[in-house]
Amino acid sequence: MNKPLVILAYPKINHEKNYVYFWMPFSILAIAKVLIDEDIADVVLFDGNQQDLAAWKQLLDKCSDQAIFIGLSIMTGGGQIGNALEMAKIAKERKNCPPLVFGGPHVNVLPDQTLEHPLVDAVLQGVGQTSIPALVRALTGCLPLKDVPGLRMKVGNSRLQGPPNSPRSLKLGGYPWHLLDVQKYVRDDPTISPRTLNYVSSQGCIYKCQFCYELTYQRKYSKMSAELMLNDIEDLKSRYDISGVKFYDADWFVDLNRATAFSEGLLERNLDIAWAASINPNDILRARRVQPQLMKSLAESHCTRLLMGVESGSNRVLEEIVKKEVTRTQLLDVAQEIADQGILGSYTFIIGFPGETQQEQEETLSLIEELWNLNPSPETRVHLFAPYPGTPLFEAAIQQGFKAPSHLEAWSSYDYYDSQTPWTTSEMVKAASSFTKMRLSPSKIA
Ligand code: B12
């Protein structure tokens, strides 16, 4: 018997002009994986960052009438929602359009508001690895719809709702690379290596930074083992001749044993792969107590760059507003430790938190100046605070006069890089730009 077909799409993100850093869309790759592994559906992936709307129409012409549903992934900001709605409109113009099911970070925080949009037939809230196979089973008559975790669906004039979805994703790694043209995602990243690919090895985060979307995972963390990561990277190297990996996990270093095992494994297997990952300053402080050799083994295994959210140079902001659980002195100390190993630090900051004073912003800028004195001099990127739904600081921002978009279409124009809050001044916009120093603008990298 033919397996049902599922189309999964990652709509385009309107990034900075000529942005070249579009990476493999793990959001849909991770959910395609379970459908393939469980052998319950055939899957077609569409990446709007690589293919245009003409290609979308062609794909729909070819197979939309065989699909049991079309899944569209959306995050808040970056114009992805508007692009998803355009794709949805094109699909709906066809006869026999299968149900349009939305998922992804935006849906995870605003499922009901997303479902209100006339083009949206259903949403799946939470991690897709559990919800998506259940939806396939339900639509092929093997499971009642009311048992699909995270589902909210329009049925006539009423709404059907499944049980809550688990915040743990568990099934990661061994991704179905054959569904993408992987070569197209290999990037020359001057801070890593000429043939770099992105990779996601965990989901969720254990920390509680009050502005961050990851809080919606309820601090439940899922990860692949070091061995599985090494197997996948070895496989990617032999298939696509990669020489670098850029991890896009929320915090790659939550499990320090895994970090050490990975670094040692890279050397033992002689893989010759340069790599970069995200880290929380508290991971480094923890490592000093339990794995004092960690930084050294990272450098030895050719970790070239560590991305760390520093957020602020003010102890009050760090403690009371962000809940970063670290002080300015500790941040400087941790950055020194990274530089001492010759690893490039890449530090991000936020100015314009609700309730932050001008003096506190100046403390952030003076911290950046101090960090620039390190050798190697780190990259710094200053963002304007943007309230993201589902986070404690979103509520705080509303109380202080921020007006949130009230429906899906209105979120289309929510631009993370523009001022979103009434208290942002032109001085803050200028400071954000002049204190941002990256090694190379992503648009200049071929
Ligand atoms: C890679 C990435 C990007 C890439 C885009 C992706 C690509 N392929 O090129 C780039 C760099 C372009 C990017 C840009 C932006 N990003 Co971004 N990005 C990420 C990152 C680091 C990884 C995404 C990923 O692959 N995750 C792994 C997958 C497996 O997880 P997932 O996407 O959540 O998908 C799971 C579920 O959500 C669900 N799911 C997802 N899609 C679907 C679809 C269906 C149908 C179903 C059923 C389920 C489902 O199942 C998946 C498996 O469990 C995440 C952080 C993170 N670690 O997740 C941020 C993240 C997605 N980005 C975010 C944001 C805000 C942005 C920006 C808008 C602003 C910014 N800070 O950079 C910009 C847009 C640029 C602009 N012009 O303004 C936020 C989104 C928050 C939100 N509320 O939506 C995140 C979560 C970071 C954060 N913690 O704040 N980003």
Give per-residue pLDDT as tens, 136-148.
999 999 999 999 9
For residue 169, pLDDT beyond 90: no
Helix (H) or strand (E) holding 189: strand 187-189
Provide the 3-class DSSP secondary structure of residue 300: helix
Instruction: Judge if the beta carbon of residue 420 lies within 6 A of ligand 1.
Output: no
- For ligand 1, the distance from its centroid to the CA atom of residue 142, given in whole angstroms, is 31
Helix (H) or strand (E) holding 62: helix 53-63
- For ligand 1, the distance from its centroid to the CA atom of residue 390, given in whole angstroms, is 15
For residue 446, pLDDT beyond 50: no
Instruction: Judge if the beta carbon of residue 26 lies within 6 A of ligand 1.
Output: yes
- For ligand 1, the distance from its centroid to the CA atom of residue 411, given in whole angstroms, is 15
Q: What are the extents of the domains in the chain?
A: 5-161, 186-385+424-434
| Mean pLDDT for all residues in the chain | 94
pLDDT tier at 78, thresholds 50, 70, 90: confident
Q: What's the pLDDT at 170?
A: 79
Structure confidence by residue, pLDDT tens digits, 370-399: 999 999 999 999 999 999 999 999 999 999
Q: What's the pLDDT at 444?
A: 47
pTM above 0.85, yes or no: yes
- For ligand 1, the distance from its centroid to the CA atom of residue 156, given in whole angstroms, is 32
Euclidean distance between CA atoms 156 and 107, whole angstroms: 21
User: Which of 13, 214, 384 has most ligand 1 atoms within 8 Å of its beta carbon, as the pocket-test mutant?
Assistant: 13
CB-CB contact of 438 with 381 (8 Å): yes
Q: Which residue type does 414 have?
A: Y
User: Which of 14, 19, 26, 27 has most ligand 1 atoms within 8 Å of its beta carbon, as the pocket-test mutant?
Assistant: 27
Q: Which residue type does 229 have?
A: M
- Note the CATH number of domain 186-385+424-434: 3.80.30.20
Task: Give the CA dihedral 348, 354, 360, 361, nearest 10 degrees.
Answer: 50
Taking the alpha carbons of 120, 125, 131, 137 in that order, is the dihedral positive or negative? negative
Nearest CA to ligand 1 atom 53: 127
- For ligand 1, the distance from its centroid to the CA atom of residue 271, given in whole angstroms, is 29
Q: What is the mean pLDDT of residues 254-258?
A: 97
High-pLDDT (> 70) share of the chain, %: 97
* Sequence-separated (6 or more) residues with CB below 8 Å from residue 246: 23, 189, 192, 196, 197, 198, 199, 275, 276, 277
Q: Which CATH class is domain 5-161?
A: alpha beta
